Structure 1
Amino acid sequence: MKDICPLCTAPSSTFFKDNNQHFLLCPNCAGIFRDRHELLHIYDEKKRYLNHKSDVKDMGYLKFVSPIIKQVKHYFGKGARGLDYGCGHTPVLSEHLSKEAYTMSYFDPIFFNDISLMNYGYEFIVCCEVMEHFYHPLTEFKKLYKSLLPDGKLICKTHLFEKEIDFDSWYYKNDPSHVFIYQDKTIEWIKEFCDFKDAEISDRVITFSK
């Protein structure tokens, strides 16, 4: 089966298919994406996100977001202006960064959809476990690039697919809201096409530099 890659629009073919799921692989950008017929309706997507437990007092969740906080503190001093993009129903990451004296705004297309926030210039934007949910990844990355100030950073956290991973048994694909999975080559494609100067991959954290 053929379909068009939602990132680079190249014709793509089946990568994995079973009775429940169908993923295609793009030969150009190496993106792995879910069959468009399997995308959740926004009401089902919202219901699933509401089941996510996000609590600013949860030390386990703080550990989960700490690699992003570490990157922000590495590149930016206190007072720097940042955006938590795709914060979900509870902007935990924003709250933690605010406590570290960063000037934070937060946006989520379902829960905090104030599109005027995308018109501001940010020194950094953080996306924690968000980019795998992008239905239109190219549109999203272009928008995020535009919202960064010169020399700004887009700091993302996701689980990249590697050839050593057995996709059949991989937990990450089984979340129905995970619709686009990235590989190292995909990150390089985004860097080049969206005019980022650099894209650094460190474990599950990807830092794009404008």
Structure 2
Amino acid sequence: MKHHCPLCAADADTFFKDSKHHFLLCPTCLGLFRDSNQFLSVESEKERYLHHRNDMEDKGYYQFVLPIINQVKLHMTQGAKGLDFGCGHTPVLSNYLIKEGYGMSVFDPIFFKDESVMNVQYDFIVCCEVIEHFYNPAYEFQKLFQTLGPKGKLICKTHLFEVGIDFDTWYYKNDPSHVFIYQAETIRWIKNNYLLQDVKINQRVITFSK
């Protein structure tokens, strides 16, 4: 059975397989994606996300999202309009950004599924630990870039796979809701394919510029 990359549609071959995980490697965009037979049900995925404990008083979580906040502050003036895409059951990141003076909307396909917010253009979109959950990244990125206004920024946080990581023992692939894992080359493929002006990778924070 042929497996087609959900980002670029190229045929892909097995990269890693054990009793719990089957990941394929796309030869074109170098994305690593999970066999769709292993996808969680909506109910199981929702239950898993409900175990995430994020709140405004959690200093550790603030440090976790701070690199995204810093990128927004670097590129956007107060009053800029942003979207927290994939905000989860508690949109803590958008609340922090509201405190910094930004106008924020939220969207989450499970917890805040108000499609009307996707019909507005934003100065910036933030995705904190979201893009690795995309079952159909080609569709999701197309939608995000269409929702960005001129010269807008899509700021994502994810853990890229790179040479030197032992995939067999890598914690990031063990989360069953992580279905698409990116490499730096994948990020550059996205920038070129969607005709973006620029992309910057700063450790785990990726900033696409329209």
Asked if Structure 1 and Structure 2 have the same fold, meaning a TM-score greater than 0.5 normalized by the shorter chain, the answer is yes
Which stretches of structure 1, 4 residues or more, deviate above 2 A after TM superposition?
none
Q: Indicate the residue corresponding to 1:169 in structure 2.
A: 169
Q: Indicate the residue corresponding to 1:80 in structure 2.
A: 80
Q: Indicate the residue corresponding to 2:63 in structure 1.
A: 63
Q: Following the alignment from structure 2 to structure 1, what is the Cα–Cα distance between the partners of residues 196 and 127?
A: 16
State the SS of the aligned residue for 1:30: coil
Task: Kindly report which structure 2 residues correspond to 1:130-209, keeping only aligned pairs within 5 A, or say none.
Answer: 130-209=130-209
Q: Indicate the residue corresponding to 2:22 in structure 1.
A: 22
The C-alpha deviation readout for 1:78-102, integer Å capped at 9, x for no partner, is: 1110000000000000000000110
Unpaired runs of 5+ residues, structure 2, are none
Q: Following the alignment from structure 2 to structure 1, what is the Cα–Cα distance between the partners of residues 32 and 157?
A: 17
Q: Following the alignment from structure 2 to structure 1, what is the Cα–Cα distance between the partners of residues 104 and 190?
A: 25
Indicate conservation of the 8 Å contact 1:126/1:155, yes or no. Answer: yes
The C-alpha deviation readout for 1:166-196, integer Å capped at 9, x for no partner, is: 0000000000000000001100111111121
Task: Kindly report which structure 2 residues correspond to 1:2-151, keeping only aligned pairs within 5 A, or say none.
Answer: 2-151=2-151
Indicate conservation of the 8 Å contact 1:2/1:14, yes or no. Answer: no
Q: Identity across aligned pairs (percent)?
A: 64
State the SS of the aligned residue for 2:145: helix
State the SS of the aligned residue for 1:43: helix
Q: Following the alignment from structure 1 to structure 2, what is the Cα–Cα distance between the partners of residues 140 and 195?
A: 16
For the aligned residues, what is the CA RMSD? 0.7
State the SS of the aligned residue for 1:14: strand
Q: Following the alignment from structure 1 to structure 2, what is the Cα–Cα distance between the partners of residues 26 and 184?
A: 13
Question: 2:59 is aligned with what amino acid?
Answer: M
CA displacement at 1:2 relative to structure 2 = 3.6
What's the TM-score once normalised by structure 1's chain length?
0.99
CA displacement at 1:107 relative to structure 2 = 0.5
State the SS of the aligned residue for 1:7: coil
Q: Following the alignment from structure 2 to structure 1, what is the Cα–Cα distance between the partners of residues 66 and 173?
A: 23
Indicate conservation of the 8 Å contact 1:30/1:186, yes or no. Answer: yes
The C-alpha deviation readout for 1:145-164, integer Å capped at 9, x for no partner, is: 00011000000000000011
